Structure 1
């Protein structure tokens, strides 16, 4: 390409209004704006474009996105007291998205439409605007849907390269941007303006997420856009989540592939997998106690008990903070390669990732390279760091760095050694320990990315969501890479016949969205050795009443029963794949809370789906929280199960309050049921001898110490009682650093 044909550098603006002018000059008054999900949105650009449309009704603006984040707010006085200092400390400089605030209040103008395919869980219940404009779609179908909608602008936060290349990284969100641009090119779709909002606080991540400046149409750069990244503090982990995590960890084989999501359960799973590797005796002790006296008739998969010799490889749409924890503890260490033949040889144990003569021999025997080498063979081998870069191809001979021609034959040791040259003994290049689509987490997670050494970062590839979530492209490669895959996803409810409810309620109100859950379930059924693991707590507290999350029926489902696979509650794991309806029901009853087993059993009998004289086996009739508490309270087990196993952005007092307020929110609002907490709280309030100093520090953090209002004093009593009741002093707040 001649110099005149080289792509031009994009215009750079430090004024967002000028950038909006430039965009509208290209698009006209019809704008369909695609914004990444989570933290990758170009907030300043989106707000300026929205404000322009709000003022000018001739502009038609459609915003298509997902997971719009907003600063936390409190719906009660107690919650506001907890949240306000967090706003001041963690979110003081964060710019909320104006369209989100407008639709929350029902104030979106008629010329603006906001559609999301995944909403911040529970944040828009009973909000007509958000509920009516929700789009139910598989994650991997979103690029297609965006083009069908007529997307003509993508606004994304990007990170500048730390070198002199002038490149930028899509960093947290290559997930949809890459496939949208690729699909548009395949369809000869027409121009999509890519607007990059440059933020040096965003960690720079290379690999597929790295783009040259010429790929952008406009760039926003300057101090205005250099804002702290939205932080999502880790939630406290309950013992219920730890019980689930132990059962799930027992299903994950060494040498396998792992996908998990964000949240308390994901944190618990990663912590327990680390325990399996670093405190194996304790891990075995707890897991085997959870299985004590229970026949594994409903899940004949042997428990995975050993530490990780080969390690795990991560292939997860969402990169949770726990994966960095697993990397540091030596669990997430299995590496995969971008070549099918090479990957198969690695998986078969014929190669170990080290460059030596056997590398060349095995690749030749597998038919991946010829003898003599072809030009394409040479390019491949040099790109993987197998053949010395000082040689250039000349037929079946190589020109060494001194300009001398020398015969090099794969059949002789001398020829192979000459080919290897300085590469001998090195690691094969291109290894990846984690493929991810997007990330979201705490400030500590973002800092860990910024501090990650270059050689470590080279093994992390943030990439397109269709690579992660489906097998259609590069199928053979993905099958070779994703050995013994375990895709772990959470659910709200599961029916007794194995249908999964994860995204909405029976009245059609959307809680969150389908996201990638269906993708991973379908993928698990296609991958040899792959399994989908649906995890849920067996019960929930609603309106102060305990209800079962295992239900007889539900008006809709996210995953139909014909895709049922493995389901896990705190009481165990069951394998539903290929089972009859009768056997599925019997298995699901075995992991149901015992308070609800008989009612569900009677419904199954009435429907003729299980024999009328069926009796739940006695070992499965003690599925109670008390039994789990008794197991975890033995010996020093609780000391291994911190509330925040991955750390937290919260202060010590805030961490304790987060645990207490979570417990308080789950309790009944009826005063007579809260009386024990009130009575205890009154006693603590009156105690000024220093014995309850921990709780008084927390009350001071909530600004309760000087309150004289009866209503506020009553709240203070409840919070004090909850701090005493819910924060178990035997459990550490923060996990040990790996």
Structure 2
């Protein structure tokens, strides 16, 4: 391949791309933060001006800066835009799509949308592609993709290499699939951003991968931050139940959001504050006779640790690593990993390791050339040796026998590698997304720690088809944790859409992980959801009798967790599945759902829900966490936040206010409490007044603005527990 052309402006790069591929452009973009925003905006602007250009954009999870649809939201959002997103460039196609202004010659297809963001966008709903994450490279080729544009990070050395960093997930398998199928050349565009953390491993690629490169100060921009959301007690209750299913020495996959943060924090508690962890979990655990789940509660600390294999790498994994939880490392060879699993060898390079590999048939004696390459790649044989027939040429030009029979021969082969730790991976990921603090932590990771992270192709993470023996050896006791919107009583899972066929998000990798859990020995799929949701002031059950469609069919049912417990559904008959799910349903909805099951003859007419499961109420959950010092152990922001203290408090109050969703005259009790707070100068209201000042309500001179101030103050008064906030939020503006 010829030397890549380099440009300092996106417009010039667009000229070169169009000259190379013509006016029909099928543009593949990474999901989330890996998009080449400057290039994408330039080619979209060109297509807007030139109707002869046909532009199809195929992507997922298009991120955009927070927006405000009301004055109340504007007061909260505007300072965030100024501080966190000051030089982030929004994608123009997304704004046009939201407003229904996409030109006829432009189509935007997403296989996963920012959750809930495009429910009212006809263009987004009509162009949604329902696909498993791992099938996207195939779908891109079927669509005729001819351009890929990706943000990359420059190597810190003089190699000229780049890192796909946040997004090797689809790029690596797409390139491999295209090469394997003799697909026409795909034009590759790199947009170089030094602020993107440089990750090595599979994500490191040569400059020759790209046809065109965008470099310069214009592209040196902050990475899109996703501030950590506040964690409520419901998420913590879920997290404790989930943590009780995760075996020491196992494998962990989780997603982004409050629940993921809660799980990571509770796992830290289990390891570092085990007594409190045990007491809280056993207080929440009402299934004393293990009627719903036969798996024993996992209560111990992490002596062997966990290994992460997650399509999405979240900030919580870095916290687990620092806490000594994510410390189980895996190697890249099935035979060696099996020996490590069985305890036949340690992770220290010694003669015993060479003997074990020979006895397992992984290498021969004398060593073949392929044996030598393998052992040197694994850091076992001295890299200075060069294979010559049945002998080695050492660095002094002398020939040595490739002998594993004698101790002297083995010691010579080990050379400088003797006594070293085997290189290992503690986290495999497909893409990452998180807060500004997460990106900073990745940029500052010591080289030794960074070497343990391998961002790689999504088919490696989400499937067993390739390297099956290796993945089985690596993914011991795997727990794949995924969130759902609803679960039917027959065990079907709804995660991506509404009953009217509107898409909320997408399938993503959830089906992959559920299916893999049924194939992988010792693995379990854990579907999590709060038992209820609040909508327009009404409480609704998330466990339902039926639903028009599902994301995960009932024949793949496994483990379902709500804040009230764990239901193990694998291998159970329909009747037992239904009664298990009823036992983790909010008690306000149990009888209605039970009657539907009885009327359908799925449960016997005389069945009654056992007494220990009839007190599934929010009050019981709160009572567990209000005992002693437990609240202080469960902060709203366990992993920290990019928000200031006042913003962190407001995020809690405004979220609760949004969930109320009622007309203003129906919120009179809230208004009355809020008015009292606004009029009072009592010390206990000092934090609320600071929040109102952050929202600039101290200057409110209209009746409408005063009512809004009262609502915010009332919501903060009712929903904010400062015992859970103190010590967990720092002001990111303090150092400015």
When normalised by structure 2's length, the TM-score is: 0.98
Residue 698 of structure 2: which of 690, 705, 721 is its match?
A: 705
Kindly indicate whether residue 532 of structure 2 is the aligned counterpart of residue 539 of structure 1: yes
- Which of 114, 120, 127 aligns to 1:126? It is 120
Match of 1:522 among 515, 527, 534: 515
Q: Which residue of 2 aligns with 1:424?
A: 418
Q: Which runs of structure 2 are paired with 1:171-190 in the superposition (5 Å)?
A: 171-190=165-184
| Aligned counterpart in structure 2 of residue 198 of structure 1, from 192, 217, 228 | 192
The match for 2:60 among 60, 66, 80 is 66
**Equivalent residue in structure 1 for 2:27, among 30, 33, 38:** 33
CA distance in 1, matches of 2:162, 2:448: 19
Is contact 2:173–2:459 with CA below 8 Å preserved after alignment?
A: yes
Q: Post-superposition shift, 1:672?
A: 5.8
Distance, in Å, in 1 between the alignment partners of 2:664 and 2:118 is 28
Q: Distance in 1 between matches of 2:385 and 2:65?
A: 56
Map of 1:469 onto structure 2: 462
Q: Deviations over 1:45-69 (max 9, x none)?
A: 0011001010010000000000000
Map 1:55-454; keep pairs closer than 5 Å. Answer: 55-292=49-286, 294-407=288-401, 409-429=403-423, 431-454=424-447
**Distance in 2 separating the partners of 1:733 and 1:12:** 50
Q: Specify which of 585, 599, 604 is matched with residue 578 of structure 2.
A: 585
SS at structure 2 position matched to 1:314: strand
**Secondary structure of 1:345's aligned partner:** helix
Tell me how many residue pairs correspond in the alignment: 730
The question of 1:725 aligning with 2:728 is answered no
Shift of 1:316: 0.4
Change beyond 3 A, Cα 1:716–1:147: same
The correspondence for 1:601, drawn from 594, 597, 614, is 594
Distance 2:180 2:250 in 1: 34
Q: Report the alpha carbon displacement of residue 209 of structure 1 after superposing the two structures with TM.
A: 0.8
**Alpha-carbon shift at residue 92 of structure 1 (Å):** 1.4
Distance 2:402 2:63 in 1: 59
CA pair 134-293 structure 1, distance change in 2 beyond 3 A: closer
Q: Indicate the SS of the match to 1:219.
A: strand
- Tell whether the 8 Å contact from 1:643 to 1:733 is kept in structure 2 after alignment: no
Match of 1:614 in 2: 607
> How much has 1:504 moved relative to structure 2?
0.2
Alignment partners' CA distance in 2, 1:145 and 1:480? 30
Asked whether the 8 Å contact 2:641–2:729 carries over to 1, the reply is no
Unaligned segments of structure 2, at least 5 residues: 731-736
- 1:455 and 2:462 matched: no
Residue 407 of structure 1: how far off its partner (Å): 3.8
Q: Secondary structure at the match of 1:730?
A: helix
For 2:527 and 2:264, the matched residues in 1 are separated by 16
The match for 2:644 is 651
Residues in 2 aligned to 1:218 and 1:185: alpha-carbon distance in whole angstroms: 19
> Post-superposition shift, 1:151?
0.3
Cα distance in 2, alignment partners of residues 170 and 356 from structure 1: 35
Cα distance change on mapping 1:501 and 1:293 into 2, 3 Å:
closer
Paired residues of 1:655 and 1:733 also in contact (CA < 8 A) = no
- Cα distance in 2 for partners of 1:73, 1:408 equals 66
CA distance in 1, matches of 2:710, 2:729: 32
| Distance in 2, Cα, partners of 1:454 & 1:162 | 11
Structure-2 separation of matches of 1:394 and 1:293? 65
284-293 vs 553-562, which moves further: 284-293
Q: Decide which of 515, 534, 559 is 2:552's aligned counterpart.
A: 559
Please give the alpha-carbon distance, in whole angstroms, between the structure 2 residues aligned to 1:472 and 1:13: 40
- Which residue of structure 2 lines up, in the alignment, with residue 510 of structure 1? 503
Q: In the alignment, is residue 498 of structure 1 matched against residue 494 of structure 2?
A: no
Does the 8 Å CA contact 2:648/2:729 hold for their aligned counterparts? no
Q: After TM superposition, which residue ranges in structure 1, 4 or more long, deviate above 6 angstroms?
A: none
Query: CA 1:511–1:734 in structure 2 vs 1: closer, same or farther (change >3 Å)?
Result: farther
CA distance in 2, matches of 1:140, 1:724: 46
Compute the displacement of 1:681 (Å): 1.0
Partners of 1:646 and 1:734 within 8 A in 2: no
Q: Work out the CA distance in 1 between the residues paired with 2:684 and 2:724.
A: 19
How far residue 367 of structure 1 moved from its aligned partner, in angstroms, is 0.4
The Cα shift of 1:736 comes to 9.3
How far the C-alpha of 1:428 sits from its partner, in A, is 1.4
The 2-side partners of 1:672 and 1:266 are apart by: 37
Distance apart, 1:590 and its partner CA:
0.5
User: What is the SS of the residue equivalent to 1:692?
Assistant: helix
**Rounded Cα–Cα distance in structure 2 between residues aligned with 1:312 and 1:529:** 15
In the TM superposition, residue 218 of structure 1 has moved relative to its aligned partner by: 0.2
Task: Answer yes or no: is the 8 Å Cα contact 2:252–2:480 preserved in 1.
Answer: yes
Change (3 A) 1:670 1:344: same
* Preserved CA contact (<8 Å) 2:287 2:565: no
Moved more, 721-730 or 10-19: 721-730
- Aligned partner of 1:570 in structure 2 is 563
1:548 maps to 2:541: yes
2 CA distance for matches of 1:442 and 1:269? 17
* Matches for 1:655-694 after TM superposition, within 5 Å: 655-671=648-664, 673-694=666-687
Counterpart secondary structure, 2:425: coil
**Which ranges in structure 1 are unaligned for 5 or more consecutive residues?**
1-6
1:48 paired residue number: 42
Equivalent residue for 1:8, pick from 2, 5, 8: 2
Distance of aligned partners of 1:689 and 1:579 in 2 relative to their CA distance in 1, 3 Å threshold? closer
Distance 1:209 1:348 in 2: 30
Alpha-carbon distance between aligned partners in 2 of 1:736 and 1:64, rounded to the nearest angstrom = 38
Cα distance per residue 1:272-314 (max 9 Å; x no partner):
0111111111110100111146431110100010000111111
Secondary structure of residue in 2 paired with 1:142: helix
Q: Quick one: distance in 1 between partners of 2:513 and 2:480? A: 6
Structure 1 vs Structure 2 CA RMSD: 1.2
Aligned match of 1:3: none
State the distance in 1 between where 2:215 and 2:306 align.
39
CA contact (8 A) 2:125 2:502 kept: yes
Say which is worse superposed, 171-180 or 691-700, in terms of deviation. Answer: 691-700
1:585, 1:234 → 2: CA distance?
35
Distance 2:566 2:728 in 1: 26
Cα separation, partners in 2 of 1:408 and 1:168, compared to 1, 3 Å: closer
Instruction: Tell me the TM-score normalized by structure 1.
Output: 0.98
Shift in Å at residue 408 of structure 1? 5.3
Q: Secondary structure at the match of 1:135?
A: coil
Q: Does 1:637 align with 2:630?
A: yes
List per-residue Cα deviations over 1:141-177 (Å, max 9, x = no partner).
1000000000000010011001000001111001011
Deviation at 1:579, TM superposition (A): 0.3
Task: Give, in whole Å, the separation in 2 of the partners of 1:673 and 1:491.
Answer: 31
